[in-house]
């Protein structure tokens, strides 16, 4: 989930709305369906790609992590199809064992295989942040989306391409990331001081 939000720029509601068939590992992209998108328009977002033998491919570490999740998802809930939620509840370790043995969840507990809620994602992020010693107030889904926008702009992704990927209706929204990236580049050039050590001409 963190990977999809941080490297694909999805909103948390778009991420929990994904179904299994919205993930296309062969094409290396994710489909955000109109009913889950803020702008009510279907869009496609690339997973992190690399070039190998002249072809675009999903980065091996990304492909490995997604494949690992898909195996766990199908292992916990054999009945799930590609039209079911991509990110699901798993329950506790004991719940998983019980569910695998009996097919029934603990009384009062949400059974494994249900679609995650946006509140559940926020809770998971805060728990992970606390374990990592990070301020949990900084670990929000929207900060992961901002990370995608800022790093993409700083890497030189054109504003129009970034606008489509993030699902912005107006280029003004996307321009914020480009403006920040430009200011960062100015600082980088200033720090580099490429004229250092040179004897520059002065006005007579």
15-24, 34-43, 51-60, 177-186: the lowest-pLDDT one: 177-186
Distance of alpha carbon 30 from alpha carbon 188, whole angstroms: 34
Q: Is the pLDDT of residue 65 over 60?
A: yes
Q: Where are the domains of the chain?
A: 2-184
Residue 97 has pLDDT above 70, yes or no: no
2-184 CATH, one of 1.10.443.10, 1.20.950.20, 3.40.50.2020, 3.10.450.50 = 1.10.443.10
Residue 64 in contact with residue 72, Cβ under 8 Å? no
- The winner for highest mean pLDDT among 60-74, 94-108, 153-167 is 60-74
Say yes or no to pLDDT of 98 above 60.
no
Res 5 pLDDT > 60: yes
Query: Can you give the pTM of this predicted structure?
Result: 0.77
pLDDT at 162: 87
């Amino acid at each position: 989930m963190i990977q999809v939000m941080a490297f694909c720029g999805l909103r948390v509601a778009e991420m929990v709305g994904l179904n299994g068939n919205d993930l296309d590992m062969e094409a290396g992209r994710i489909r955000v369906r109109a009913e889950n998108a803020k702008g009510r328009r279907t869009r496609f977002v690339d997973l992190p790609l690399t070039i190998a033998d002249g072809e675009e491919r999903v980065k091996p570490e990304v492909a490995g992590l997604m494949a690992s999740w898909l195996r766990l998802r199908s292992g916990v809930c054999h009945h799930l199809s590609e039209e079911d939620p991509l990110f699901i509840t798993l329950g506790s370790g004991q719940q998983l064992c019980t569910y695998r043995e009996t097919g029934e969840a603990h009384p009062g507990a949400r059974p494994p295989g249900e679609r995650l809620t946006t509140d559940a994602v926020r809770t998971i992020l805060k728990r992970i942040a606390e374990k990592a010693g990070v301020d949990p107030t900084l670990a929000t889904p929207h900060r992961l989306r901002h990370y995608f926008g800022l790093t993409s702009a700083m890497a030189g992704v054109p504003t129009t391409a970034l606008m489509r990927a993030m699902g912005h209706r107006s280029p003004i929204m996307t321009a914020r990331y480009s403006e920040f990236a430009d200011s960062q580049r100015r600082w980088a050039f200033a720090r580099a001081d490429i004229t250092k050590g040179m004897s520059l001409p002065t006005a007579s």
